[in-house]
Amino acid sequence: MNPAADTYVEETKFGFWFLQSHVWQHHVLRVAINDLKSLAGSALPTAPVLLDAGCGQGKSFKLLQQAFAPSRLIGLDADRRSLQCSQAQASDAGLDVQLLSSDCAAIQLADASVDIVFCHQTFHHLVEQDQALAEFYRVLKPGGLLLFAESTRFYIDTWVIRWLFRHPMHVQKTAEQYLHMLHKQGFEFSPGQISYPYLWWSRAKDFGLLERLRLRKPKPVGERDETLVNVVARKPVQVHC
């Protein structure tokens, strides 16, 4: 029995395979990392200690190294099989990555020891979301950044995703609910540090086909159910009690 079985929901066989694919690395990971880097702008620290929370099979490692040039890269995941893949991925890329076998709700790192937490498409697998977010806040240094990229329930709760993947449906949230959760934990961010990508793969009802065929105009932000939310959130330099 996996000791983390009660705190996160494991991928299906299809999901495990998909996370190895070119589509995942090129159309999902790469796009999210580029967007988050753009949202962070000049706030990005130099040579940061970077924690990839929910690193999966390590497909993000090379992209994170290229985007943020971390002095120390840490990969954390609760799935031991994925961590084995992550180790191989790091070796193939020639990267020195410290791997931790742990759930996000119990991170085995010291307080204020990390400059950046990268959390990409991980939160919707977690059962103990509040505890995980508290752990991100704890391990971040004052002024540290949480790079948060997540699918909302308007994407997760579709027949295609329910059929191919597995998630704890009772904790899925809208974009607004995720932003509220970040604020409640104490993170700070401005509207300019938030984006709502409306990518074709996130629109599981029709994959944006009608818009690509120019049979329907895309709805603007505020008039649609957001399927994705990206945000760069900052832990305050001074924490107010």
Mean pLDDT of the region 65-86: 95
When the pLDDT of each residue in the chain is averaged and rounded to a whole number, the result is 87
> 139-143, 209-213, 227-231: lowest mean pLDDT where?
209-213
Radius of gyration of the chain (CA): 17
132 pLDDT band (50/70/90 cuts)? very high
pLDDT given for residue 211 in this prediction: 61
Mean pLDDT of the region 172-191: 97
Query: Beta-carbon neighbour count of residue 5 at 10 Å?
Result: 12
Domain count of the fold of the chain: 1
Distance from the Cα of residue 45 to its chain's centroid? 19
Range of the domain at 141: 13-234
Distances (CA, A) of 196 to 42, 94, 191, 215: 21, 34, 11, 22
Residue 6 covered by a domain:
no
Q: Give the domain CATH number at 38.
A: 3.40.50.150
Q: What is the per-residue pLDDT across 189-202, written as a single tens digit (0 to 9) for each?
A: 999 999 998 765 55
4 pLDDT band (50/70/90 cuts)? very low
Residue 2 vs residue 228, higher pLDDT: 228
Residue 7 covered by a domain:
no
Six-digit token pair at 209?
A: 């086909």
Mean pLDDT of the region 162-177: 86
Q: Has residue 231 got a pLDDT over 60?
A: yes
219 pLDDT band (50/70/90 cuts)? low
Distances (CA, A) of 160 to 16, 29, 123: 16, 20, 19
114 pLDDT band (50/70/90 cuts)? very high
pLDDT given for residue 3 in this prediction: 40
Q: What is the per-residue pLDDT across 30-49, written as a single tens digit (0 to 9) for each?
A: 999 999 999 999 989 999 99
Residue 39 covered by a domain:
yes
Burial class (CB in 10 A: 0-12, 13-18, 19+), 64: buried
Query: Beta-carbon neighbour count of residue 182 at 10 Å?
Result: 21
Of residues 66, 77, 68, the one with CA closest to residue 19: 77
Neighbouring C-alpha atoms within 13 Å toward the C-beta of 182: 29
pLDDT given for residue 5 in this prediction: 46
Percent of the chain with pLDDT over 90: 64
Q: Has residue 74 got a pLDDT over 60?
A: yes
Distance from the Cα of residue 131 to its chain's centroid? 16
Task: Check if the beta carbon of residue 140 is closer than 8 Å to that of residue 235.
Answer: yes
Q: Has residue 120 got a pLDDT over 60?
A: yes
